Amino acid sequence: MTLIELHQVSKTYRTHGAVTEALFNVGLKVDKGDIFGVIGHSGAGKSTLLRCVNLLERPTSGRVIVNGKELTALREKELQQERRRIGMIFQHFNLLTTATVTENIAFPLKLAKWSSSRIRARVDELLELVGLRDHAGKYPAQLSGGQKQRIGIARALATNPDVLLCDEATSALDPQTTQSILQLLLDINAKLGITILLITHEMHVIRSICNRVAVMDGGRIVEEGDVLDVFLKP
Ligand code: ADP
Ligand code: ADP
């Protein structure tokens, strides 16, 4: 089953008279259960592509369909609803620095107007999932990079999304911590059935956890397929 579809998605940025064509007619299909990696050099358009999936960035043209819903056709209110089914994590974690671990994870649940008892139970489950039970009352500054990304993952999964978008999620981490976060992503995919779409400039990230890969260059997908096929070709 296809979970994410992009049809002829283009994105042009216009800032101060400068025009940057970041995406040209990109088509993409991600199946349910995939760990799909998009790789390419800096400036290739990966981040723009990822942000077009949850409409953090609005495509200039083209259609984005997630879970059978055409996001590009929705009103803001319906879009907010659908976004709860799409989690996202970031290179620099994007945590609330003045909030505790618990408060960071609870944040999207408050926005979604969950009751405080449901929030408490859900936050406990998530702390367990990412292995941060002993750090619930700490602030992000008291934690390591790997622990911060675990908070990011717990927050992204809070509303039970079907999809997790990962924007260079391990690029700010050392190799050992990177491995532990990649292992956590594998577990989340295997145990919870969450589909993962990640962007990276690092081949080893693709090789260690992805089953599918697309290679981007100059705003286009220039190659796509099973990881083994794409990277074992002569
Ligand atoms: P990547 O993630 O592969 O590094 P990006 O999607 O960030 O690529 O960028 C693709 C192109 O679009 C680059 O030329 C970049 O400078 C430009 N770009 C990205 N975001 C913006 C923006 N908000 N405003 C203007 N140009 C942007
Ligand atoms: P990343 O580490 O994700 O590649 P970037 O440094 O590419 O981050 O971009 C950081 C932010 O700056 C993003 O919100 C992106 O949209 C914006 N951005 C990137 N390139 C440009 C640009 N040429 N002009 C304006 N904004 C940009």
pTM surpassing 0.90? Answer: yes
Burial of residue 216, with CB atoms counted within 10 A of its CB: 0-12 exposed, 13-18 middle, 19 or more buried? buried
Q: Which two tokens stand for residue 73?
A: 């056709």
- List pLDDT tens digits, range 176-218: 999 999 999 999 999 999 999 999 999 999 999 999 999 999 9
Distance (Å, whole) CA 73 – CA 29: 18
Do 140 and 151 form a contact (C-beta atoms < 8 A)?
A: yes
Distance between the two ends of the chain, CA-based, in angstroms?
A: 31
Residue range 75-128, pLDDT digits in tens? 999 999 999 999 999 999 999 999 999 999 999 999 999 999 999 999 999 999
Give 177 Cα–ligand 1 centroid separation in angstroms: 27
Query: What is the length of the chain?
Result: 234
Tell me the two tokens of residue 228: 């083994």
Identify which ligand lies nearest to the alpha carbon of 200. Answer: 1
| 13 has a pLDDT exceeding 70 | yes
Q: Which amino acid residue places its CA nearest to atom 26 of ligand 1? A: 13
pLDDT attached to residue 176: 96
For the residues of 101-112, what is the DSSP string, one character each? HHHHHHHHHHHT
Give the list of residues 6+ apart from residue 190 with CB closer than 8 angstroms, or none: none
**Does the pLDDT at position 221 exceed 80?**
yes
| pLDDT attached to residue 231 | 81
> Is the complex ipTM higher than 0.90?
no
* Residue 45 in contact with ligand 1 by CB distance below 6 A: yes
Give residue 18's pLDDT band: very low, low, confident or very high (50, 70, 90): very high
DSSP secondary structure string for all residues of 85-133: TEEEEETT----TTS-HHHHHHHHHHHTT--HHHHHHHHHHHHHHHT-G
How much distance in Å is there from the Cα of 112 to the middle of ligand 1? Answer: 31
Q: What is the arithmetic mean of pLDDT over 30-41? A: 98
CA-to-CA distance for 86 and 50, rounded, in angstroms? 11
Instruction: Give the CB-side neighbour count of residue 98, counting CA atoms within 13 A.
Output: 0
- The one-character DSSP state at 202 is -
- What are 139-169's pLDDT values in tens digits? 999 999 999 999 999 999 999 999 999 999 9
Which ligand is in closest contact with the Cα of 42?
1
Distance 229 CA to ligand 1 centre (A): 29
State the distance from the centre of ligand 2 to the C-alpha of 47, rounded, in angstroms.
8
Query: Mean pLDDT in the chain?
Result: 96
Task: Please tell me the chain's helix, strand, coil percentages from 3-state DSSP, rounded to the nearest 5.
Answer: 40, 30, 30
Give the ligand 1 atom nearest the CA of 40: 3
The pLDDT value recorded for residue 233 is 64
Q: Are strands 61-66 and 220-226 parallel, antiparallel or unpaired?
A: unpaired
Q: Which pLDDT score, from 0 to 100, does residue 14 have?
A: 94
Q: Ligand 1 centroid to 3 CA: how many Å?
A: 25
CA–centroid distance, 101 to ligand 2, in Å, is 27
Neighbours of 113 (CB within 10 A): 7
CA of 43 relative to ligand 2 center, distance in Å = 9
pLDDT tens digits for range 43-69: 999 999 999 999 999 999 999 999 999
Q: Is the CB of 17 under 6 A from ligand 1?
A: no
Give the model confidence (pLDDT) of 82-97 as tens digits: 999 999 999 999 999 9
DSSP state of 115: -
Whether pLDDT at 232 is above 80? no
**Could you tell me how far CA 210 lies from the centroid of its own chain?**
14
The bound ligand whose nearest atom lies closest to the alpha carbon of 88 is 2
Instruction: Kindly state if the Cβ of 22 falls inside 6 Å of ligand 1.
Output: yes
Q: How confident is the model at residue 234 (pLDDT cuts 50, 70, 90)?
A: low
SS3 165: strand
Ligand 2 pocket test target in 11, 13, 21, 47 with most atoms within 8 Å of CB:
47
Q: What pLDDT is recorded for position 165?
A: 98
